[in-house]
Amino acid sequence: MSDVSVLGEGPVEEVSLSLHQGTLAALRKRTGERGMSAYIEELIQRDVERERLRELIEWAEAEHGPVDPASVEAKRAILRGEVDDPSVDAA
């Protein structure tokens, strides 16, 4: 196995995996026969990215303490467009 650590990089390598019949049927219905590899590739990439983000958050909280929930909610309100002036930061 090569030492490629960047998601989506490097040559494609064929693998075998086992899935429950119901899972496989749902996958085929969603992707068709030819789209399964790309779909699974995207799911794995997204999951690894989320795991890395979780690790980064855990490191940052260990280093700087937990994030203030009010600050997080203020940022979410900006992202949702619920704040008229994003320069007015409540946190």
> What CA–CA distance (Å, rounded) separates 64 from 37?
40
* CA–CA gap between residue 4 and residue 12 (Å, rounded): 11
What is the pTM for the complete model shown? 0.68
CA atoms within 13 A on the CB side of 12: 5
Q: Is residue 90 part of a domain?
A: no
Asked whether residue 75 is assigned to any structural domain, the reply reads yes
In a domain, 41, yes or no: yes
Asked whether residue 88 is assigned to any structural domain, the reply reads no
Per-residue pLDDT of the chain (91 residues; tens, 9 = 90+): 455 578 889 999 999 999 999 999 999 999 988 899 999 999 999 999 999 999 999 999 999 999 899 999 999 999 999 986 656 555 5
Cβ distance 29 to 21 under 8 Å? no
Domain span at residue 39 reads: 35-80
Q: Is residue 12 part of a domain?
A: no
Residue 27 lies in a domain: no
User: How many domains, the chain?
Assistant: 1
